[in-house]
Amino acid sequence: MSGMDPELFEQFIDQLERYVRERLIPAEREVIANDRIPDAIVQEMRDMGLFGLTVPEEYGGAGLSTSQYARVVRTMAYAAPAFRSIFSINVGMFNSAIKNGGTAEQKAEWWPRIAAGEIACFGLTEPGSGSDSAAMATTAKPDPSGNGWILNGTKRYITNAPHASVGLIMARTEKDNLPKNAHVSAFIVPMDTPGVTVGSPDHKMGQSGSHIADVILEDVHVSGEALLGGETGKGFVFAMKSLDNGRISVGAASTGYARRALDSALRYATERKAFGEPIANFQLIQQMLAESETEIYAAECMMADVTARADAGENILRKAAAFKVFASEMCGRVVDRVVQIYGGAGYLAEYDAERFFRDARIYRIYEGTTQILQLQIAKHMLRDFAAQA
């Protein structure tokens, strides 16, 4: 995928860096205090085209390559996580599923709307299932009256559900579990469809301003055109392919936020004095700074590699998982060191370090926990080895 002209893209990144520094970071305290992004900022992000970064230009988007979109995410993730979260499902998962599995009619209907800034959510996880699709309880049954489907079930921890105008909902279309998860299909469901209810936003450890909630489906009637790709049994395949992009987004966000935390620690270490000199002069503080810099650089290199492979058309499932695992765990280690560098101040809400620590914790959990992704990486390693034997 060629993406935006490189020179234009670098100009866009420069503009975005200024926007993050001059507009988003100063707004963080308001986002935290009110647990919401100001409407004016959401509209500015729409006007900048952030909701349609990967939508093809002919449908109103920016047409970015995977490498370019990951750089945008990393740049935005330098600010509070909510700013990335509000557009990330559009860009990383919903749009990817439409691209990989949507019919021409579905692309024509939804891509312009997504590019214009309608917010999407992605309904895979349930109270009793996440990565375990065999336990999925949400059902989609043919509408007895003719064309269409009736959906019933509950989705849990759905990012952006309180703000979304459309959801990509995974549902069981076959009673029995089938090989390769062919019992799961994907449906494009407008959130104002009768029978769709969104629960109250959950209270979370961190990530203020980013909202998750349950989505309850009670006898939700959708037309036959709602079935992604027009074919049953392909939903899980589309979901997993789009999760590759979602994992790249989380990896890029982890990398950008780790950089923000380290910059904060570097500033604090040069200003804070002990024993008559800045603590940055002490070698054990320097060790923590250097280890963090080294790990962030490694994640940046992984991001550049996996996104280049994605743009070249390679199957990146294993490498996207590896990048997400490393970058999210790396971010956790960096923010832990940052709290330590801040010392007692790092435990106080008055300073940024404790917020970085809380915000970063979710990166190791969503879009596949570290442990699930390690199992997935190993499974594919063993499968590839067996195929070569």
pLDDT of residue 181: 81
My answer on whether 252 and 371 are in the same domain is: yes
Q: Which of 118, 300, 354, 367 is catalytic?
A: 367
User: Is 249 among the domain residues?
Assistant: yes
Residue 1 domain-assigned? no
Q: Are residues 344 and 375 in the same domain?
A: yes
Q: What's the alpha-carbon Rg for the chain, to the nearest Å?
A: 21
* Model pLDDT, residue 1: 53
Do 90 and 132 share a structural domain?
Answer: no
How confident is the model at residue 206, as a pLDDT? 93
The residues near 341 (Cβ < 8 Å, ≥ 6 apart) are 265, 268, 269, 279, 285, 288, 289, 353
Domain boundary among the residues 192, 212, 232 is at 232
Q: What is the pLDDT of residue 179?
A: 80
Same domain (yes/no): 193, 225: yes
Residue 200 shares a structural domain with residue 268: no
Domain count of the fold of the chain: 3
pTM of the entire structure?
A: 0.93
Reported as a single tens digit per residue, the pLDDT across 236-288 is 788 778 888 889 999 999 999 999 999 999 999 999 999 999 999 999 999 99
- Which residues pair with residue 343 across a beta bridge? none
CATH of the domain at 362: 1.20.140.10
Q: In CATH, what number is assigned to the domain containing residue 200?
A: 2.40.110.10
Domain that holds residue 159: 121-232
Return the DSSP state at 215.
E
Q: How far apart are CA 155 and CA 136, in angstroms?
A: 10
- Same structural domain for residues 56 and 151? no
**Would you say 311 and 67 are in contact if contact means Cβ atoms under 8 Å apart?**
yes
From 118, 138, 158, the end of a domain falls on 118
CATH number of the domain enclosing 43: 1.10.540.10
Which pLDDT does position 129 carry in this prediction? 82
Q: What tens-digit pLDDT sequence spans the chain (389 residues)?
A: 578 899 999 999 999 999 999 999 999 999 999 999 999 999 999 999 999 999 999 999 999 999 999 999 999 999 999 999 999 888 888 988 898 899 999 999 999 999 999 999 999 999 988 777 778 899 999 998 888 999 999 999 999 999 999 999 999 998 888 787 888 999 999 999 999 999 999 999 999 989 999 999 999 999 999 999 998 988 778 877 888 888 999 999 999 999 999 999 999 999 999 999 999 999 999 999 999 999 999 999 999 999 999 999 999 999 999 999 999 999 999 999 999 999 999 999 999 999 999 999 999 998 889 999 999 999 999 999 999 97
Alpha helices of the chain — where are they, by DSSP H?
6-19, 25-34, 39-47, 66-76, 81-89, 95-101, 104-115, 235-271, 283-311, 317-342, 352-360, 370-388
Q: Which of residues 232, 267, 299 is at a domain's end?
A: 232
3-state secondary structure of 150: strand
On whether residue 367 sits in a domain, the answer given is yes
CA dihedral 68→72→77→79, nearest 10 degrees, is 160
Residue 161 domain flag? yes
- Annotation says 314 is catalytic: no
**175 shares its domain with 318:** no
Residues 202 and 345 in one domain: no
Q: Which two tokens stand for residue 299?
A: 């994640």
At residue 28, the pLDDT reads 96
| Phi (first) and psi of residue 216, to 5 degrees | -105, 130
Residues 41-59 pLDDT 10s: 999 999 999 999 999 999 9
State how far the Cα of 248 lies from the Cα of 119, in Å rounded to an integer.
19
Report the alpha-carbon distance of residue 191 to residue 149 in Å, rounded.
Answer: 15
* Cα 220 → chain centroid: 27
Count of CB atoms situated within 10 Å of the CB of 195 = 15
275 lies in a domain? yes
Q: Are 231 and 224 in contact (CB under 8 A)?
A: no
DSSP 129: B
Tokens of 281: 């002069």
CA distance 321 to 153: 28
